[in-house]
């Protein structure tokens, strides 16, 4: 799961229902990542997200990897 834009704030786990979903994902060994630039832009503390099991990985790096593995980017 990749958190991008304002969605990076979900990684803080402040909303109980979202925290429960993130906990379930981690329990299922689903990797959680967020864009560090967006974390900074939103004024969030990356250490808080990382303590909640959310890794930091630049969006450009993730997109390049997806395209390289055959995914197509569709803008709406």
Query: Looking at residue 74, what is its pLDDT?
Result: 78
Query: Looking at residue 73, what is its pLDDT?
Result: 79
* Residue 34 scores a pLDDT above 80: yes
In angstroms, the CA 35 to CA 6 distance is 10
Task: Estimate the share of the chain in helix, then strand, then coil, as percent rounded to the nearest 5.
Answer: 55, 10, 35
Going by pLDDT thresholds of 50, 70 and 90, the confidence category of residue 47 is very high
Going by pLDDT thresholds of 50, 70 and 90, the confidence category of residue 76 is low
Mean pLDDT of 11-22: 92
| 3-class state of residue 67 by DSSP | helix
Mean pLDDT of 30-44: 95
């Amino acid at each position: 799961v990749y958190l991008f834009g304002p969605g990076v704030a979900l990684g803080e786990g402040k909303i109980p229902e979202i925290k429960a979903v993130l906990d379930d994902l981690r329990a299922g060994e689903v990797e959680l990542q967020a864009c560090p630039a967006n974390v900074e832009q939103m004024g969030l503390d990356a250490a808080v997200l990382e303590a909640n099991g959310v890794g930091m990985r630049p969006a450009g790096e993730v997109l390049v990897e997806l395209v390289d593995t055959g995914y197509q980017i569709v803008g709406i």
